[in-house]
A and B are shown apart, each in its own frame.
Chain A
């Protein structure tokens, strides 16, 4: 039921995409007009319902109990995290995720206590969108989903067509119970984000673009498991004192020596093989003067792995529609 509503909302949303012209100047966000509208919609739903409920939940429930709830859902999620780690070739990390599930389900009493973390098995953050990114798929346009919030074409497709099936709650036979569990999980997750949400709102001049930029940077970092290679940033000014020489670096290239030290090092992480994911949206993208002209810059100006032009976006979103169609039709 819940999923059907999401699916329908998404269909309506995507139906609106076709009519959206390129309004923004941000090449990551050709759908900015629609996205802003959906962002505002989500924000009002959050302010009216989800946030008050989450605040109440946080006020009423003792912290120990809330941690237990968070741990419980986190433990269920570890299976899917492990599968995705293995799909990404990180077999060792995947096996450790299964180990976490085994330990926390037994010694941690159905996952209420995260004893595996204390035993040195760290919690990972993986999902199918990250797996696709690791496999070389670019993220496509930034999309704000109804209720679910910031996403991208790739991540939305992954979430709605694939991740649902990796979610153990989906397999709870009793539908009312399952829906209650969904609600508790959403409320618990929102409660955990109350502080962070307030911080972001305080920090942002433009809440929408702050969240968008943070989402794109965050996803990029997650795909690289935190070892994001630093890209040459033509916007970097090395002289910082005001009044000092502040000439922009015309070529946009940092001295080669720095590139070697920044990027040429072996990756030290839990990853079992070197990272070669596709180019994500760059957090600190090169901004050639042409790309920043007030005139529409053309979406391919920074040449990601998948050229983001409207055809591609629409092609993938029709693929998404197909995925959602089948998802909605399924019981």
Chain B
């Protein structure tokens, strides 16, 4: 356990230290390889231990996501309507929801392999899409594309598109409707209560 933790810390250091120079597709590849490598070896994760998966996602994946941008994208034209405090609350709640979804997806991992399509980007681009194909023997490949932007801290993921469905913009209609009906605070409230119900659900499942 401690060994695993140390290994996690070291590889995290390694990835963040070099993050600025690493190409976006190489970054996604190294993260995916790391995460899949760990999932394959960890018996608890294989058995569906969500706490363990969350730990892994926290350490390996989240540092490379730009949740502020994701929340702004999902909010669309409503984003500037929220004040700074509301924006902060929205980011926190939306982040929790996305993390739950992402961990849930990871926990269904079987023997998929990930193929990377050639990156189409010019040298100075600050926004690229990293395209991957996830293949499982015996079923149709699913594309997972990562929208990435170059920030001072390195490349960050701001959108994940699974089979053509953007996990971020998929929320926009719901967010719009929620804000129309009950305002920005109403949306924060429903996001928070959604997260709470997911937590209790996870709690009862693991018992």
Tell me whether A217 and B87 are in contact (CB under 8 A). Answer: no
A209 to B164 Cα, complex, angstroms: 17
Shortest Cβ distance from B163 into A: residue: A218
The answer for the CA separation of A195 and B122 in the assembled complex, in Å, is: 38
CB <8 Å contact, B66 and A240? yes
| Candidate in A125, A213, A247, A292 with the most chain B CB atoms within 10 angstroms | A213
Give the contacting residue for B172; candidates A70, A235, A241, A265; CB below 8 A. A235
Q: Pick the contact of B73 from A192, A195, A237, A289 — CB < 8 Å? A: A237
Give CA–CA (A268, B61) in the complex, Å.
Answer: 29
Does B87 contact A123, Cβ atoms closer than 8 Å?
A: no
Partner of A202, one of B101, B118, B127: B101
Q: Note all chain B residues with C-beta closer than 8 A to A246.
A: 72, 79-80
Which among B76, B80, B84, B174 is the interface contact of A287 at CB below 8 angstroms? Answer: B76
The answer to whether residues A205 and B178 also contact, given A114-B137, A248-B80 and a CB cut-off of 8 A, is yes
Of B100, B122, B164, B177, the contact of A206 (CB 8 Å cutoff): B177
**Known pairs A217-B165, A242-B87; A237 contacts B72 (CB<8 A):** yes
B127: chain A residues at CB < 8 Å are 258
Contact residues of B between 61 and 94, Cβ < 8 Å to A: 66, 68-69, 72-73, 76-77, 79-80, 84, 87-88, 91
CA distance A226 to B101 in the complex (A): 22
Contact (A221, B163) CB under 8 Å given A240-B66, A248-B77? yes
- The chain A residue sitting closest to B70, CB to CB, is A240
A185 to chain B, nearest CB (A): 15
Contact assessment for A292 and B165 in the assembled complex, using a CB-CB cutoff below 8 Å: no
Say yes or no: is B166 at the interface (Cβ < 8 Å to chain A). yes
Is A236 on the interface with B (CB-CB < 8 A)? Answer: yes
Contact across chains for B100 and A202 when beta carbons are under 8 A apart = yes
Do A284 and B165 have beta carbons less than 8 Å apart? no
Contact indicator B173/A205 (Cβ below 8 Å): no
Contact: B80 with A209, CB < 8 Å? no
User: Quick check: B158 and A240 within 8 Å, CB to CB?
Assistant: yes
Q: Which of B100, B122, B141, B165 contacts A214 (CB 8 A)?
A: B165
Quick check: B198 and A202 within 8 Å, CB to CB? yes
Per-residue CB proximity of A241-274 to B under 8 Å, as 1/0?
1110011100000000010010001001000000
A residues within 8 Å of B by Cβ? 25-26, 67, 70-71, 74, 114, 117-118, 122-125, 192, 195-196, 198-199, 202-206, 209-210, 212-214, 217-218, 220-222, 226, 228, 234-237, 240-243, 246-248, 258, 261, 265, 268, 283-284, 287, 289, 292, 294
7 contacts across the A-B interface (CB closer than 8 A): A26-B173, A123-B140, A204-B174, A206-B174, A210-B171, A243-B87, A247-B80
Question: Interface residues, chain B, CB within 8 Å of chain A?
Answer: 66, 68-69, 72-73, 76-77, 79-80, 84, 87-88, 91, 97, 100-101, 104-105, 108, 118, 120, 122, 125, 127, 137-141, 143, 149, 158, 163-167, 169-178, 180, 190-191, 194, 198, 201
Query: 14 other contacts beyond A205-B191, A242-B88, with CB at 8 A cut-off?
Result: A67-B138, A74-B138, A123-B141, A205-B174, A209-B174, A213-B169, A214-B165, A217-B170, A218-B165, A237-B72, A242-B84, A261-B125, A287-B77, A292-B180
Nearest 8 CB-CB pairings of A with B:
A221-B164, A235-B76, A240-B69, A242-B87, A203-B101, A123-B140, A195-B108, A240-B68
